[in-house]
Amino acid sequence: MKMFCIKYWVHSILFLFIVGTLSCSDDLTASADSRLSFSMDTVKFDTVFTSLGSVTRKFLIYNKGKSDLLIQSIGLSQGKLSLFRINVDGTTSADNQFKNIKIRANDSMYVFVSVTINPNNSDNPVLVEDALTFTTGSLNKKVILNAIGQDIILFKNRRITTDSVLTAQKPFFVMGELTVDSLRTLTISAGCRFYFYSDGHLKVNGTLIANGSFEKPIVMRGHRFDKVAFEIPFPYNNIWGQWGGVTLNGAGRHHVLQHVFMNGGAYGIIASNTDMNQPSEIKMDYCRIHNFTTTGLMTENHDLNITNTEISNTGSYCVYIKGGKHSFVHCTLANYFNDSDISSLITNRRDSNPALLIMNMERCSPMESNFQNCIITGSKDNEFSLATLFADTYKGNFESNYIKRPNPLTGFQFKNTRWAAKADTIFINTRYMSVIDAYFDFRLDSVSVARGIANKAIAEKYPLDLLGNDRIKDNSPDLGAYQWMPHK
C-alpha cells in the first residue's frame, strides 16, 4: 500500500511537470511572438534614381516584454543577391543575414535599409521588392521592402551651346549648374521632370521656352523623396531650400513658361536685365511657384504677361518687380510662409516684406502695371507695396482685385478693389499641419470672400483656371487663379 502511494505520487509529479513544461513552452513561444513588433510593416523608398543609390531608411524593432528576447535570425529573402542592404544595430553582413540577435526587455534597436538599383534602359519606373524575415522559435515575421527605380539623364555642370529640345522620356537630374549660352534657346517639352540636387540650378543666358500642358505639366523640384528624419515626418518636398532656382539673364529675351510647377528651392525665378532701354519679356501661363526660401519671382527691366498663375509662400517677396510693363490677370499671390508646424523645427522665418512689391526706381525702364481679377494676400497686415519714386513716369491700373492692406491706396486707378484689413476666409487651407495631414491649399473655400466678384468681361478672355476648370460656366467668375469647385 505504501509502495502504491509512492508510485502514484511520483507519477503525479512527473505528469504535472510534463504538462507544466509543455504549457510554459507554449507560453514562451506565444509570448516571444507577441513581444516582437516593428515601427512599420513596409519600408518604402518611393523613387530611387538608378546608379545614384538612395538615402537610408530605418525602422525600429521592439521587445515589449518583461524579459530578454532572442531573435534567432534576421535576413533578406534574396540574401546577397538582393539590391537592398541592411544594417542591424550598427552591424553589417555581406550576405544580409544575421544570427542570434538579442533585445533586452522593454527595449528596441534600429534596422537601417538602403538600396541601389542599376540602370535598366527603360523610360518607365521599375518596382524592386524584397522581404526582411525575423525568426523567433518556430514563428516568422516579415517587413516588406520596396523601391521604385527610375533611369535618369544626368546633367552635371552641363553647358548647352546649341539650340536644344528636351523631351520627357526620362527625368533630368541636375547637379551643379545647367547653363544655356546667350543667343541659344532651350525648349522644354510637356511632361519633363527636373530633379535638382542641393547645388542644382538652371541658368539661362539665352532664351527659355517651357511648354507644358494641363495633362503633362513641367515639374522642377528637389531630388529628395524621403522625409527629413525618422522622428520628423515632413517630406523634403514640402520644405524650402532643397535646390537653387531659375535665373534668366540678358536684354531683349523672350521667355515663355506654360504649365510649369516649381517648388522647394532657394528662389523661384530671378530675371535680371540691367539695360533699361531693351527690356526682356516673360510670358507665363498656368504656372505654380511655391515654397521658396527668398522670393518667387523677382524681375528687373522685364515686361511681364502672367495669367492663371499661383505664386505663394516665400521667405520674402512672392513677387518683386522693378522696371518694365507688367500684366497679372487671374493670379493668386499668397504668402503664409510661417504658418506651418515646420517653423518650430527649422529656423527660416518670413521677413517683414509684403507679398507684392512694385518698385519704380531711377534706372528702371518706364513702368506700367495692370492687375485684374487677382488675389494679393498673406499672413501679414500689409501684403502690397507700391514704391513709386517717380510717379510721373508710372501708370497703374488695378481692377477687380482682393488686396490685403490696412489702408487703401490712392493716386492711381483702383477700380472695384476689395481692400482687406483683417483675416477673411479665402482659401481652403493656409497652414501646414503634418499631425492632421493638412497642407497649404490656395484653391477657394466654399465661403471665400473672393467668390463671384471677378470682372466677368475680363474672365471671359481667360475661361479656364489653373486646373482647367471653366470659370464662366456658372456665370459667376471668382478672383484669383482658381475657380471654386465642389471639393470631394
The full set of domain ranges for the chain reads 37-149, 152-459
- pLDDT tens digits, 104-142: 999 999 999 999 888 877 788 888 999 999 998 878 899
Mean pLDDT over 374-378 rounds to: 97
Q: Is there a contact between 189 and 89 (Cβ–Cβ < 8 Å)?
A: no
The backbone region for 13, taken as left when phi is positive above 0, alpha when psi lies in -120 to 50, beta otherwise, is alpha
Mean pLDDT over 343-349 rounds to: 65
Mean pLDDT over 453-458 rounds to: 97
pLDDT score recorded for residue 120 = 79
pLDDT score recorded for residue 88 = 94
pLDDT band at 230 (very low <50, low <70, confident <90, very high): low
Mean pLDDT over 259-264 rounds to: 98
Q: Is there a contact between 102 and 81 (Cβ–Cβ < 8 Å)?
A: no
Which of 57-71, 309-323, 342-356, 441-455 has the weakest average pLDDT? 342-356
pLDDT score recorded for residue 12 = 42
pLDDT score of 90 more than 60:
yes
pLDDT score of 41 more than 80:
yes
- pLDDT tens digits, 198-226: 999 999 999 999 999 999 999 999 998 88
Looking at per-residue pLDDT, the higher value among 138 and 98 belongs to 98
pLDDT score of 14 more than 50:
no
pLDDT band at 340 (very low <50, low <70, confident <90, very high): confident
Lookup: cell for 307: 495669367
For 397-464, the three-class secondary structure string (H helix, E strand, C coil) is EEECCEEECCCCCCCCEEECCEEECCCCCCEEECCEEHHHCECCEEEECCCCCCCCCCCHHHHCCCCE
pLDDT band at 173 (very low <50, low <70, confident <90, very high): very high
The CATH superfamily label for domain 37-149 reads Immunoglobulins (2.60.40.10)
pLDDT band at 341 (very low <50, low <70, confident <90, very high): low
pLDDT score of 29 more than 70:
no
Pairwise CA distance, residues 15 & 7, whole Å? 12
Average model confidence (pLDDT) across the chain: 88
pLDDT score recorded for residue 362 = 66
